[in-house]
Structure 1
């Protein structure tokens, strides 16, 4: 039995990581390093209000979320926990790539900070948005087809795209999806379908993982091309297709496509299961607890007390902790 580390995606607006920061010297040292690399103060990373400009807000939010994900890893590493496989969604896929040894920590965070220079949308550009959607549990992916192949509400509606597949809900009754696109198209869709089946998220003005993020992808492409990538040191599961990323070129491709291509949690946890993972640690709070079904037990870790819970669960299940060590 082996251990997998799973990193969520998304950019939250709430403060994250304060308790870990106060509890562990290694986490305080880590935040000092992130501050030096990004030019943000520790307070800005941990708890202060995010900027109001869209792209700057997104950039600082990604630094906040990725810093916490790595902080959880470093807190666990003190107890010699070693994942046998690793993967994540969106931003979490980039953090996982870093901890699998495929990209340097400093280069990752400098890249995330650089994204704040992305040109803001013009006043005449249509507003973007994202929505949570619920589909029948039977709306599964075509076998082996990967992200973006699930039947979904709004399929074929202009301006609406499937951006994410989070898989079946914990009770097995529905499949949780993310839609992205033009805000007006999402609002019309929500009004046309049964109540509660499509829920636009307030304050979310970036159509993540859709073709509408092409300008961001093109702006960031030269920066990503300039980064040094290496072959992962342990199995790294893609969130863009059912695939284990084994080469530096695989990881570079993930970074380039991440902003415009749909993501799939199912691809990540199914790949982990195929690697023999029988306990998953969900790093940080970006995958809500108790909502989704997983093919193995999971422990969500984002508070100091969760560290002991992870250790106890691994011990109780007889998890093999001698897997490859992620690169510091």
Structure 2
């Protein structure tokens, strides 16, 4: 096993995400049309129009937009005879990864992502919630940034060491007052409370949303993955439909760690990772193997070059997870020198 697809967590993707790929490749256009049919959204709503102002619909449509970018890139790579030997992702990326691994059909995934926008967001009158990104210096204990050391602040995600090796990247989630207290006590510029997020993602504070989604998740038609699917909840590979269902179920309230995904992929023998879409910023996280981030047509060429230069073996085609097809074959991008991410020591 050598090539893996890695997918990031839910963000509010910019309207230009995937725009160049959509303009250039019919197979990507086909992916967006397919998701439009599954969700009732127009292609423009998925691709480029401003996201809804209301928090719930914004999350639902934003999740579909991010999934569309990743699925469109996967379809384009499949047209170029590139297929992964393993997949895995963080939060929303784990669910999209489940689709790429053959555990859930695109229609069911798209419908579920829209349904998440109907889940309870905030409780009227309750203390304000939020999330923060923290770069914890290596001479500090990350445990001092969240519970039990800091009340009302939870560790929502551990991304692992930064590229420069000087810090560990965490996502903190909980009550906004607690997050602001952590930011005030940390070294200047190392903790940022994100104003655009008003809910405590991946914490017990999201139990009402988990309860709301539970009947839908229980009824979703899932099957065993046909590719190794790395979990973001623990360092393990998910091999059954019920294990994937558990991922969907716990994703709302439990911490999710990119560190688990990458460590499991490294254990599996992954030698190159392709990060699909913009949800994991390039040049920030230190992966344990080379990576290429794909957001534009130029990046596709870099990925192809990295596969060639590293002598990566491509997994055989699997009909059970065949991507959406287009009658028109897209132009093959020019291969430019690869710039894979740093390999960890």
Give TM-score scaled by structure 2 length.
0.89
Q: CA contact under 8 A between 1:240 and 1:263: conserved in structure 2? A: yes
2:127 aligned with 1:126, yes or no? yes
Root-mean-square deviation (Å) = 1.6
Q: CA contact under 8 A between 1:234 and 1:324: conserved in structure 2? A: no
Counterpart of 1:223 in structure 2 is 216
2:37 aligned with 1:36, yes or no? yes
Q: What SS does the aligned partner of 2:234 have?
A: coil
Q: What SS does the aligned partner of 2:117 have?
A: helix
Q: What SS does the aligned partner of 1:158 have?
A: coil
Counterpart of 1:46 in structure 2 is 47
Counterpart of 1:173 in structure 2 is 166
The unaligned stretches of length 5 or more in structure 2 are 323-345
Counterpart of 2:14 in structure 1 is 14
CA shift for structure 1 position 152? 4.4
Give the Cα separation in 2 of the matches to 1:315 and 1:134. 34
2:24 aligned with 1:23, yes or no? yes
CA shift for structure 1 position 274? 1.1
CA shift for structure 1 position 17? 0.9
Give the Cα separation in 2 of the matches to 1:278 and 1:139. 31
Counterpart of 1:68 in structure 2 is 69
Counterpart of 1:143 in structure 2 is none
Give the Cα separation in 2 of the matches to 1:235 and 1:115. 26
CA shift for structure 1 position 209? 0.8
Counterpart of 1:146 in structure 2 is none
2:185 aligned with 1:192, yes or no? yes
Give the Cα separation in 1 of the matches to 2:200 and 2:219. 26
Give the Cα separation in 1 of the matches to 2:291 and 2:268. 16
Counterpart of 1:303 in structure 2 is 296
Give the Cα separation in 2 of the matches to 1:223 and 1:138. 45
User: Which stretch shifts more, 256-265 or 117-126?
Assistant: 117-126
Q: Alpha carbons of 1:185 and 1:32: their partners in 2 closer, same or farther (altered >3 Å)?
A: same
Give the Cα separation in 1 of the matches to 2:298 and 2:190. 35
User: Which stretch shifts more, 193-202 or 101-110?
Assistant: 193-202
2:151 aligned with 1:158, yes or no? yes
Counterpart of 1:327 in structure 2 is 321
Give the Cα separation in 2 of the matches to 1:210 and 1:195. 26
Show CA shifts across 1:87-142 (max 9, x none). Answer: 000000000000100111100000111122224434312221000112244779xx
CA shift for structure 1 position 188? 2.1
Give the Cα separation in 2 of the matches to 1:111 and 1:139. 40
Q: What SS does the aligned partner of 1:259 have?
A: coil
Number of positions where the alignment pairs a residue of Structure 1 with one of Structure 2: 319
Counterpart of 2:280 in structure 1 is 287
Q: What SS does the aligned partner of 1:218 have?
A: helix
CA shift for structure 1 position 323? 4.8
Q: CA contact under 8 A between 1:83 and 1:324: conserved in structure 2? A: no
Residue number among 205, 211, 217 corresponding to 1:212 in the alignment: 205
Give the Cα separation in 1 of the matches to 2:90 and 2:294. 16
Give TM-score scaled by structure 1 length.
0.93
Give the Cα separation in 2 of the matches to 1:13 and 1:297. 24
Counterpart of 1:248 in structure 2 is 241
Counterpart of 1:258 in structure 2 is 251
Give the Cα separation in 1 of the matches to 2:204 and 2:82. 39
The unaligned stretches of length 5 or more in structure 1 are 141-149
Give the Cα separation in 2 of the matches to 1:69 and 1:198. 29
CA shift for structure 1 position 288? 0.5
